[in-house]
């Protein structure tokens, strides 16, 4: 942690009411800092195009090109970000107002991580077993194209796919050459999502053709037909051949030459790279050994709760020694726990979500205006995605392989991904209005910590109707605790894939498909999986602190409003803000 940031956080921690103080700041200090982040934000928005699962695909609807991801462009970005860091290090944090001190504590790590990613050449490994640059193009197709010019810009982006893919292939070749790649052990089948487009015969059946299926009536019919032909030509002549070239590279070059090791620390400069991943995703300066120990402790605690539910249900199993595993087998195989059709699974998710609607006002005071819909995960990514994912406006439910989607997990999944989890929290972020745009960027430890805490809130709202539902909640909590052990086990302690699979399989009621896709995700995406449980532990600890300090004055709605009003913040900043709120409540 740099000296300016440490000084800023120290000020926040030592003066609990600081963030709430209404002072008249020295205009020069605030103005100079604001100029830095406002200028950088304009630059940042110019660097990106297209949509993704967490962002607004409409924001880039008029861009005619996909991002430049080549080495020259990366070097230029790094030089710019290093310049921003130099400007930030020259800021006298003590002279900033309380509000801008808070902004500084959030902003500087954000820029430092962006620079570190380029410096460590993350762009040479532009996919993992969960997500990829080629599948993410599908989110671009979600854009609401409002007029003919937007459709022309979209077609131009489609025609730019070959150039974009060529740059990505060149980057991946460079990564292969230095041993920086996704491990070979998790690549089997990943070519399928490329083949889905590469082998298309009809461009109108491509997922990227979706915006042309329903065009605004304000565009004249004749012009609509012209635009559709333009889209078909772009997909036929540019997109499908680009996917074909990528498929050949992936099968003949990437898969055979990918590294045979698993650990992040086994890659070039891997120890530093893994530590940077930990700092980025957890916002904490914890070592892998410290995180591993926290995980082992959490696993033991949750296991005791799970055993209690099995005891309550009176489940015997074949013997005392095998009872836990026998119960997991029962949950994984009994038809009563599984939907028979994709629509049935979606209906269950919608019913749970609607029940939450009737309770959520009792625990959260400020609710977003934005609503969310429930849709199935796109087929091109469903085989390797998790059971669901949520964001502002959308809760994606994975209906692929229904025997791997147990209904006893669905309440926890829905609470996490929709409301009060990601869909609610991210809608509130969008609606904050006055905060700088960089405060709306997603921070995994905060967002995923809130999502996991939201699963626990389901108990307070009465959402878990049966012991099986509650066991599903604990399975999800155990799943996130296991991540702490498995991620550090694989990337720091040298665990094998088989060890990781066995650990997750033996401790949770996740299906075998989910166990496999999850472990492969941790292997190919180091550090991200650590954010969930560490974030939830922080939020739970802060709630207990608030309850103990305030006693009868504790108001859960105000506590949650304070948590959610932060936007998306590093965990140390969240701690300082909540403790400031506690102090203000005590003195009020």
Partners of 132 in beta bridges: 127
Residue 194 token pair: 């490329």
pLDDT in tens, the chain (588 residues): 444 444 455 444 444 434 444 455 467 899 999 999 999 999 998 886 544 444 444 555 678 999 999 999 999 999 999 999 999 999 999 999 999 999 999 999 999 999 999 999 999 999 998 889 999 998 888 888 999 999 999 999 999 999 999 999 999 999 999 999 999 999 999 999 999 999 999 999 999 999 999 999 999 999 999 999 999 999 999 999 999 999 999 999 999 999 999 999 999 999 999 999 999 999 999 999 999 999 999 999 999 999 999 999 999 999 999 999 999 999 999 999 999 999 999 999 999 999 999 999 999 999 999 999 999 998 878 888 889 999 999 999 999 999 999 999 999 999 999 999 999 999 999 898 788 999 989 999 999 999 999 999 999 999 999 999 999 999 999 999 999 999 999 999 999 999 999 999 999 998 899 999 999 999 999 999 999 999 999 999 999 999 999 999 999 999 999 999 988 899 999 999 999 999 999 987
CA–CA separation, 406 and 59 (whole Å): 36
User: Would you say how long the chain is, in residues?
Assistant: 588
pTM of the model: 0.89
Q: Measured in whole angstroms, how far is the alpha carbon of residue 24 from the centre of its chain?
A: 38
Three-class DSSP category at 26: coil
> Which among 199, 207, 81, 204 has a CA at the least distance from the CA of 139?
207
CA–CA separation, 508 and 486 (whole Å): 13
Strand order in the sheet with 394-397: 373-376, 394-397, 388-391
φ, ψ of residue 396 in degrees (nearest 5): -90, 125
φ, ψ of residue 373 in degrees (nearest 5): -110, 165
CA atoms within 13 A on the CB side of 351: 10
φ, ψ of residue 406 in degrees (nearest 5): -65, 145
Distances (CA, A) of 477 to 172, 411, 533: 35, 13, 8
Each domain of the chain, given as residue ranges in start order, spans 3-120, 137-260, 276-536
The answer to whether residues 192 and 381 touch, using CB atoms and an 8 Å cutoff, is: no
- Concatenate the DSSP letters of all residues of 403-470 into one string: GG-BGGGHHHHHHHHSSSSHHHHHHHHHTT-SS-GGGGS--HHHHHHHHHHHHHHHHHHT---SHHHH
Distances (CA, A) of 260 to 184, 263, 528: 6, 10, 21
> Which among 485, 507, 496, 573 has a CA at the least distance from the CA of 535?
573
The answer to whether residues 96 and 33 touch, using CB atoms and an 8 Å cutoff, is: yes
CA–CA separation, 378 and 391 (whole Å): 15
Contacts 24+ apart (CB under 8 A), 453-460: 453/535, 453/536, 453/539, 453/540, 454/415, 454/416, 454/419, 454/420, 454/421, 455/412, 455/415, 455/416, 455/421, 456/536, 456/540, 457/363, 457/415, 457/420, 458/356, 458/411, 458/412, 458/415, 460/363, 460/556
- Location of structure tokens 């131009």: 156
The DSSP code for 391 is E
Partners of 395 in beta bridges: 374, 390
Is residue 159 classed exposed, middle or buried when 0-12, 13-18 and 19+ CB atoms within 10 A define those classes?
buried
CA–CA separation, 265 and 260 (whole Å): 13
φ, ψ of residue 349 in degrees (nearest 5): -60, -40
Which contiguous run of DSSP H or E holds residue 577?
helix 571-587
Give one word for 260, left, alpha or beta, with left for phi > 0 and alpha for psi -120 to 50.
alpha
CA atoms within 13 A on the CB side of 265: 14
> How much is the pLDDT for 571?
97
Three-class DSSP category at 100: helix
> How much is the pLDDT for 60?
57
- Location of structure tokens 């996991």: 452
Is residue 461 classed exposed, middle or buried when 0-12, 13-18 and 19+ CB atoms within 10 A define those classes?
middle
């Amino acid at each position: 942690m740099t000296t300016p940031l440490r000084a800023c956080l120290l000020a926040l921690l030592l003066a609990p009411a600081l963030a709430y103080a209404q002072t008249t700041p020295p205009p020069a200090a605030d103005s100079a800092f604001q100029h830095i982040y406002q200028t950088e934000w304009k630059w940042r928005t110019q660097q990106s195009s297209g949509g993704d699962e967490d962002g607004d695909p409409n924001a880039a609807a008029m861009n005619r090109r996909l991002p430049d991801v080549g080495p020259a462009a990366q070097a230029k970005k790094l030089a710019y970000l290093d310049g921003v860091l130099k400007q930030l290090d020259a800021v006298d944090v003590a002279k900033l107002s309380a509000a801008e001190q808070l902004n500084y504590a959030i902003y500087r790590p954000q820029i430092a991580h962006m620079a570190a990613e380029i410096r460590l050449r993350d762009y040479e490994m532009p996919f993992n077993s969960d997500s990829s640059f080629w599948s993410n193009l599908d989110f671009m197709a979600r854009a609401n194209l409002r007029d003919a010019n937007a459709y022309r810009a979209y077609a131009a982006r489609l025609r730019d796919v070959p150039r974009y893919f060529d740059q990505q292939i060149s980057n991946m070749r460079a990564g292969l050459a230095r041993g920086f790649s996704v491990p070979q052990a998790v690549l089997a089948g990943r070519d399928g999502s490329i083949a889905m487009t590469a082998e298309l015969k009809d461009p109108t059946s491509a997922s990227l053709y979706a915006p042309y299926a329903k065009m605004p009536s304000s565009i004249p019919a004749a012009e609509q037909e012209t635009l559709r032909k333009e889209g078909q030509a772009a997909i036929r002549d540019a997109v499908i051949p680009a996917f074909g070239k990528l498929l050949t590279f992936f099968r003949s070059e990437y898969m055979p030459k990918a590294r045979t090791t698993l650990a992040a620390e086994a890659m070039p400069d891997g120890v530093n790279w893994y530590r940077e991943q930990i700092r980025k995703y957890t916002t904490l300066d914890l070592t892998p050994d410290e995180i591993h120990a926290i995980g082992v402790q959490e696993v033991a605690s949750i296991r005791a709760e799970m055993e209690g539910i099995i005891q309550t249900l009176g489940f015997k199993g074949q013997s005392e020694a095998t009872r836990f595993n026998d119960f997991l087998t029962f949950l994984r195989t009994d038809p009563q726990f599984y939907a028979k059709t994709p629509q049935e699974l979606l209906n269950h998710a919608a019913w749970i979500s609607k029940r939450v609607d009737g309770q959520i006002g009792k625990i959260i005071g400020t609710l977003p205006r934005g609503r969310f819909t429930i849709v199935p995960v796109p087929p091109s990514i469903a085989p390797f995605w998790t059971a669901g994912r949520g964001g502002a406006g959308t809760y994606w439910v994975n209906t692929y392989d229904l025997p791997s989607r147990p209904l006893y997990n669905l309440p926890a999944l829905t609470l996490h991904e929709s409301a009060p989890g990601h869909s609610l929290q991210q809608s509130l972020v969008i609606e904050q209005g006055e905060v700088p745009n960089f405060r709306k960027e997603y921070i995994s430890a905060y967002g995923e910590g809130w999502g996991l805490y939201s699963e626990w809130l389901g108990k307070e709202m009465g959402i878990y109707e049966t012991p099986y539902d509650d066991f599903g909640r604990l399975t999800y909590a155990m799943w996130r605790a296991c991540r702490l052990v498995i991620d550090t086990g694989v990337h720091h302690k040298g665990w094998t894939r088989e060890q990781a699979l066995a650990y997750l399989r033996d401790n949770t009621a996740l299906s075998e498909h989910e166990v496999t896709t999850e472990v492969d995700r941790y292997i190919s995406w180091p550090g991200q999986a650590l954010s969930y449980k560490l974030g939830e532990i922080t939020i739970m600890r802060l709630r207990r602190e608030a309850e103990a300090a305030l006693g009868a004055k504790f108001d859960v709605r105000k506590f949650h409003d304070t948590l959610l009003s932060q936007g998306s913040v590093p965990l140390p900043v969240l701690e300082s803000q909540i403790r400031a709120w506690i102090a203000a409540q005590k003195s009020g």
